[in-house]
Amino acid sequence: MEYSNLLSERVKSLKASAIREIFKMLGKSNIISFAGGIPSPELFPAKELGKIADGILEKNGAKALIYGITEGYAPLIEIVEKRNAQKNVGKDFDQTIITTGAQQAIDLVGKALLNEGDGVIVEAPSFIGALNSFRSYNARLFEAEVKEDGIDLEQVENILKTEKNIKFIYTITTFQNPTGITLSLEKRKKLLEIAKKYNCLILEDNPYGELRFRGEDVAAIKSFDDEGRVMYVGSFSKTLSPGMRVGFLTCHKDIMDRVVVVKQVNDVHTPLLNQMMVTDYINNYDFDEHIKISAQKCGEKCAAMLDGAKKYFPDSVSLTNPDGGIFLWCTMPEGIDTGKIFEKAVEKGIAFVPGRTCMADIDKVSNCFRLNYTTVSNEKIDEGMKILGEILKEYV
Ligand SMILES: Cc1ncc(COP(=O)(O)O)c(C=O)c1O
| pLDDT of 11 | 76
| pLDDT of 28 | 56
Q: Is 384 in the pocket of ligand 1 (CB under 6 A)?
A: no
| pLDDT of 362 | 86
| pLDDT of 393 | 97
Q: What are the residue ranges of CATH 3.40.640.10 in the chain?
A: 69-284
Q: Is 177 in the pocket of ligand 1 (CB under 6 A)?
A: yes
Between the CA of 208 and the centroid of ligand 1 the distance, in Å, is 9
| pLDDT of 10 | 76
Q: Is 102 in the pocket of ligand 1 (CB under 6 A)?
A: yes
| pLDDT of 21 | 63
Mutate to test the pocket of ligand 1, among 19, 98, 104, 177 (most ligand atoms within 8 A of CB): 177
Mutate to test the pocket of ligand 1, among 179, 235, 240 (most ligand atoms within 8 A of CB): 235
Domain 69-284 -> CATH class: alpha beta
Whether 234 contacts 207, CB under 8 Å:
yes
Q: Is 103 in the pocket of ligand 1 (CB under 6 A)?
A: yes
| pLDDT of 137 | 95
Between the CA of 315 and the centroid of ligand 1 the distance, in Å, is 32
Q: Is 234 in the pocket of ligand 1 (CB under 6 A)?
A: no
| pLDDT of 336 | 97
Between the CA of 303 and the centroid of ligand 1 the distance, in Å, is 23
Q: Is 129 in the pocket of ligand 1 (CB under 6 A)?
A: yes
Q: Which residues of the chain have pLDDT under 70?
A: 15-29
Q: Is 207 in the pocket of ligand 1 (CB under 6 A)?
A: yes
Q: What is the CATH number of domain 4-45+291-393?
A: 3.90.1150.10
Q: Is 282 in the pocket of ligand 1 (CB under 6 A)?
A: no
| pLDDT of 133 | 97
Atom of ligand 1 nearest to the CA of 105: 11
| pLDDT of 14 | 73
Q: Is 37 in the pocket of ligand 1 (CB under 6 A)?
A: yes
Q: What are the residue ranges of CATH 3.90.1150.10 in the chain?
A: 4-45+291-393
